[in-house]
């Protein structure tokens, strides 16, 4: 019997978890159908070191416990990247894998790709080719460099292929496979819809029947938004005007919560310690109509449950632009560029940067019934991970 191929699969931060879960399921299915041909080794670098940002997602997504946890924690970009490279190289010497699979665009993505390629271990990059063309974004640097050293580049949309070809990547390295985030979305959608988070947030009332009250949803975490006092102030100016029309629910990233306090912006928010908000009447109390409702971070299923019925989603996240496009939920992106232009060309997404007038104008347009009507891109069908494993199993063997 042949010795199974060793594939190291790297996870690091919240967006990564939705991408590795379907990969691990696809490897398991491949082994079941073809014999035990691949031994996946799941490595968690620990870039998200808070349990609410990491452990809850592993639980929601049914991801097995990592085989290895590097525990790198926080730090500057250089510190974090350097620590991951040092610890990951030790693992590579120990395991001598046949392949390293990295996903997304976080610091660990680049660090693990660099460590592997320097040891002549093939690298597969899932979600390759995405470009915002804004090199002030650390994620853009990570994307560019990871793609430059990878052997297998799995793209989510045709623009990714075009970007890579323009950068001189040989076409035989590029594989258009679809959006792996959507694999997780489709797989967990039924379970997410059954979650009771809206009842706990008093968005559904037993007395008033099953109809969900109108609300909007916000995510905000990028340094360009939350670390810049002026940018955050402009965003809040627009959002607070929208909050007079519809409640804004904000599961708050720890980074954003820290900066809100540091800048003295607490008065813009109603802070809730838990998810039971029976004391919060979003719709009748005038003071709460002029505040953003700030919650602790949510798990994947809770957040997806809220996103499905939101009137509009405000975000600076990349993945949420994709998920809202597939779900047909209007998305207002608080950035001036996106590495996912297909969500604008075909989907429900619009860019407003930190312009308060644009935020209000686009939100009111949506709330008045004039939301953009998007379509789901053709190969965002929930089968991306299967395509990736099929390609790798045929090409990345010994």
Active site residues: 221
Give the number of C-alpha atoms closer than 13 A to the C-alpha of residue 251, restricted to the C-beta side: 20
197 in Cβ contact with 306 (< 8 Å): yes
Of 175, 127, 169, 172, give the one whose Cα is nearest residue 18: 127
**What string of DSSP letters covers 197-243?**
HHHHTTSSBTTTBSPPPP-EEE----HHHHS-HHHHHHHHHHHHHHH
- 3-state class (DSSP) for residue 100: strand
Q: How far is the C-alpha of 155 from the C-alpha of 189, rounded, in Å?
A: 23
Give the number of C-alpha atoms closer than 13 A to the C-alpha of residue 212, restricted to the C-beta side: 19
Please give the C-alpha separations between residue 259 and each of 108, 226, 235, in angstroms, as whole numbers: 24, 6, 14
Q: How far is the C-alpha of 268 from the C-alpha of 243, rounded, in Å?
A: 10
């Amino acid at each position: 019997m042949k010795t199974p191929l060793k594939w190291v699969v790297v996870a690091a931060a919240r967006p990564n978890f939705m991408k590795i879960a379907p990969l691990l399921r696809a490897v398991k299915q491949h082994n079941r159908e073809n014999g035990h041909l691949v031994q996946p080794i799941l490595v968690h670098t620990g870039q998200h070191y808070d349990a609410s940002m990491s452990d809850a997602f592993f639980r929601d997504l049914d991801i097995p416990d990592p085989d290895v946890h590097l525990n790198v924690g926080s730090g500057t970009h250089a510190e974090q990247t350097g620590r991951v490279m040092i610890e990951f190289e030790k693992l590579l010497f120990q395991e001598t894998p046949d392949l390293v699979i990295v996903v997304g665009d976080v610091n660990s993505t680049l660090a693990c790709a660099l460590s592997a390629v320097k040891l002549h271990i093939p690298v597969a990059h899932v979600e390759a080719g995405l470009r915002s063309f804004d090199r002030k974004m650390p994620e853009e640097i990570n994307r560019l460099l990871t793609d430059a050293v990878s052997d297998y580049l799995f793209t989510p949309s045709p623009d990714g292929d075009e970007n890579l070809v323009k950068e001189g990547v040989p076409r035989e390295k590029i594989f258009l496979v679809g959006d792996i985030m959507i694999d997780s979305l489709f797989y967990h959608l039924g379970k997410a819809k059954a979650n009771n988070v809206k009842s706990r947030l008093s968005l559904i009332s037993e007395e008033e029947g099953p109809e969900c009250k109108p609300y909007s949803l916000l995510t905000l975490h990028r340094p360009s938004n939350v670390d810049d006092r002026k940018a955050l102030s402009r965003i809040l100016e627009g959002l607070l005007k929208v909050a007079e029309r519809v409640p804004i629910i904000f599961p708050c990233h720890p980074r954003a919560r820290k900066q809100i306090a540091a800048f003295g912006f607490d008065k813009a928010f109603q802070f809730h310690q838990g998810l039971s908000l029976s004391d919060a009447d979003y719709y009748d109390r005038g003071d709460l109509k002029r505040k953003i409702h700030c919650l602790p971070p949510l798990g994947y299923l809770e957040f997806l449950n809220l996103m499905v019925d939101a009137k509009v989603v405000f975000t600076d996240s990349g993945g949420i632009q994709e998920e809202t496009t597939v779900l047909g939920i209007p998305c207002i992106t608080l950035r001036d560029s996106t590495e996912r232009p297909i969500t604008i060309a075909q989907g429900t997404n619009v860019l407003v940067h930190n312009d308060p007038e644009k935020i209000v104008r686009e939100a009111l347009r949506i709330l008045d019934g004039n939301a953009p009507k998007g379509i789901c891109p053709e190969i965002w069908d929930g089968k991306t991970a299967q395509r990736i494993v099929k390609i790798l199993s045929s090409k990345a063997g010994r």
